[in-house]
Every structure is written in structure tokens, then in C-alpha cells.
Amino acid sequence: MKFKMAKGSLFAVLLRSTWWYSVLIGLFTLLISVAVTDAKYVILSISASMPFFLIGGYAGFKQWQQPSQKRVLEVSEQAKQMSAVSISEKIAANYIKSGYQSSAFNGKDADLELVRGHQKLLLCSKRFKAANTGIEPLKRLVAAGEAIEARGYLYLTLGEVSASAHNYAQENNIEIIESNRLAVLFDGKAKID
């Protein structure tokens, strides 16, 4: 059985929040428990606050790996000045470093085909400057991928993505590359499996 944390639980909320929230709650818990017990049960007080410090440390580690908001805005502005072909090549460079081979896709619904062994990915950045992304371009990308037996898809957008498009992406193994992920790819720090 796989353990899954409830979305609304305190620790799940703290994992999504800024790291120092957890640390403050841990310090508050520690100080209150020491004050209430007159420091007789220090080990118990430390044990009660330890989960908050651990969550804060983990959240801080994850947040430290993400690009700053300033960097995300810089990359977004830089990307808006680029063509779809050049931005596709910039993204593909990360996959090439991870052992993929890149080639132009022969079709209108994707830009590049990335291949490593039996794994094929299709990358589409044709409409990355569009203000809104719905489900239709994703369906066309999947249809193009089915013709070549692609196992995954990459779709770049700098605009808003509808809820139905997000759901469709999850169901069809489509990674939607938005501003934060694009900044990581531009900086060459993306983890690609």
C-alpha cells in the first residue's frame, strides 16, 4: 500500500508553504511545551516540535532548488522574444544532455521528436505565446504522437492553462512546461528521467 498524504492536512499545507512557516510553528511548539512543563520534559518537547522542523527543512530544500520569481520573469520575457524553433532547441538541449536524440518532427502538431532507446517524446512549442491553452492543441499533439508511438509529450505555454487541459495532460502523459519549469530548463538544471 502506497502512503499518500491528504491535501488538506497540516503537513501537506506546510509542504506547499514557505519553509519558515514550519520552522516558526516548530519553535512556537517547542517554547510553549517547555513553558508548560517547566522544562521537565525537554525530550518530549523536542519530539513534539521535530516534525515541524523536518517539514521546514524539506520544504526549504525543495524551494532552494526552484528558480526565484525574478528569474522566472526574466526567462518569460526572454522567451517571448524568441521564435518557437529556437525555444524548442533550447528545451531540447536539456534532453540531449540526458541521452536523447533530437530531430525535427514531420507534421504540424509538434516541433521536435526526442528519442532515447524505445522512449519517444514529442515537443510542441508552436503556440507558446498564446494567452490561453485549452484541450484541443493537446489532443492534436497526442494524435500526432500516436502515429509514431510516442510515450510522452512536452507542451510549452506561457499563458493560462484550463482545468480541462490540465486533466487531459495528466491522463495522457503530457508535461505542460509553464514559466517555472521553463526557467529551470533555460538554466540547464532540469532533472530529466
Q: Is 144 or 11 the better-scoring residue by pLDDT?
A: 144
The pLDDT score that the predictor gives to residue 1 is 55
The mean pLDDT of 93-122, rounded to a whole number, is 90
- Cβ-based neighbour number of residue 157 at 10 Å: 23
Hey, what long-range contacts does 64-68 have (CB within 8 A, 24 or more apart)?
Answer: 65/189, 66/180, 66/184, 67/180, 67/183, 67/184, 67/187
The mean pLDDT of 168-172, rounded to a whole number, is 93
| Burial of 87 (C-beta count, 10 Å sphere; 0-12/13-18/19+) | buried
Q: Is the pLDDT of residue 147 over 90?
A: no
Q: Is 108 or 53 the better-scoring residue by pLDDT?
A: 53
The pLDDT score that the predictor gives to residue 3 is 67
- Enumerate the domain spans of the chain: 10-65, 70-186
pLDDT band, residue 13 (cuts 50/70/90): confident
Average pLDDT of the chain to the nearest whole number: 88
| Residues in contact with 1: Cβ distance below 8 Å, sequence separation at least 6, in sequence order | none
- Cβ-based neighbour number of residue 160 at 10 Å: 12
- 70-186: CATH class: alpha beta
